Amino acid sequence: MKTDIVELVKGVGGLVTLPDVFIRINRLVEDPNSTTTDIAKVVRQDPSFTVRLLRVANSPLYGLSSTVDTVSKAVAIIGTSQIRNLALSTSIASTFAGLPNDLVSMDNFWHHSLYCALTARILARQAHKCDPEAVFTAGLLHDIGELVIFNRLSALAKEVLLLVLDSADELPVYEAEWEIMGFDHAQVGGELARQWHLPALLEECIAYHHSILEAQRYPRETALVHIANILALMAELDTLDSGDVSPINPRAWEITGLSEDIIEPTVREAQSEIAEAEKLFLGN
């Protein structure tokens, strides 16, 4: 089964590739000898990312006190590892445009992912010891395995969705995937993250957002994305009734130290941010 997933992910290699600017920034962030000047230089070489970065840095979503009008200022204020996250986040939707499918509209897919990113970021601010911007990116990427499955295994993916509906929506999608395919989208996404050499935090959050106890190095971040995924559904469906969405693993509350009281304010805050976030992350 593991080899099937590896092959499946290899099969999309030519269709979807990481943005060049992310790869170059990633290399510099990992290199202890690199400086912020090096990173600013790489950013400047990509005019379209430069524009996106400055837009994000000046948006109310980030609430920075001073105007960020130059790349070097952005790098200094935002920090290099955050710039790396943004290089991925701001281009992820266009990156995956190369993997179209007939089952789910890309707008609807990214709408849910962005809600997950926003709720993860809000939760991380409460949970402490978690980097809000890193889990934002993890939330945005958590379901990328779905896009691989929808594109490469569309007939099986359709069976999965029909099975969910036949169960009167009682069966979660990942369990239906197990039943029909023998593996789920979290495993596929985790494998994609591994082959792309994404930071380990992202790989674990993507791979284990439905099986949080398997996370080794980033259990808190993974549990946060798990909760965020469910709260994102609540925000999308405009409900606060936990019976309307899949259950949250009770261990996720223990691991993150958060309590269920935060559900309502988190959902409401994400709903108030979604329009601005869509302009920044899903706009052209």
Burial of 129 (0-12, 13-18, 19+ CB in 10 A): exposed
Decide: is 239 part of the binding site for another protein (CB under 8 A): yes
**How many other C-beta atoms are found inside a 10 Å radius of the C-beta of residue 155?**
7
Q: Which of 156, 237, 254, 283 binds another protein (CB under 8 A)?
A: 237
Q: How far is residue 149's CA from residue 167's CA, in Å, rounded to a whole number?
A: 21
Pick the closer one to another protein by CB: 77 or 164: 164
Minimum CB separation from another protein for residue 116, in Å? 12
String of contacts with another protein for each residue 145-174, x by CB under 8 A: -------------x--xx-xxx-xxx--x-
92 SS3 class: helix
φ, ψ of residue 191 in degrees (nearest 5): -70, -40
Region of 103-111, 116-124, 194-202, 210-218 interacting with another protein (CB under 8 A) = 103-111
Pick the closer one to another protein by CB: 38 or 159: 159
Decide: is 104 part of the binding site for another protein (CB under 8 A): yes
Pick the closer one to another protein by CB: 97 or 237: 237
Take residue 258 and report the two structure tokens written for it.
Answer: 């958060």
Is the separation of the CB atoms in 255 and 248 below 8 Å?
no
Decide: is 102 part of the binding site for another protein (CB under 8 A): yes
Region of 19-27, 43-51, 52-60, 232-240 interacting with another protein (CB under 8 A) = 232-240
Pick the closer one to another protein by CB: 76 or 165: 165
Q: How far is residue 132's CA from residue 123's CA, in Å, rounded to a whole number?
A: 8
Take residue 20 and report the two structure tokens written for it.
Answer: 């060049």
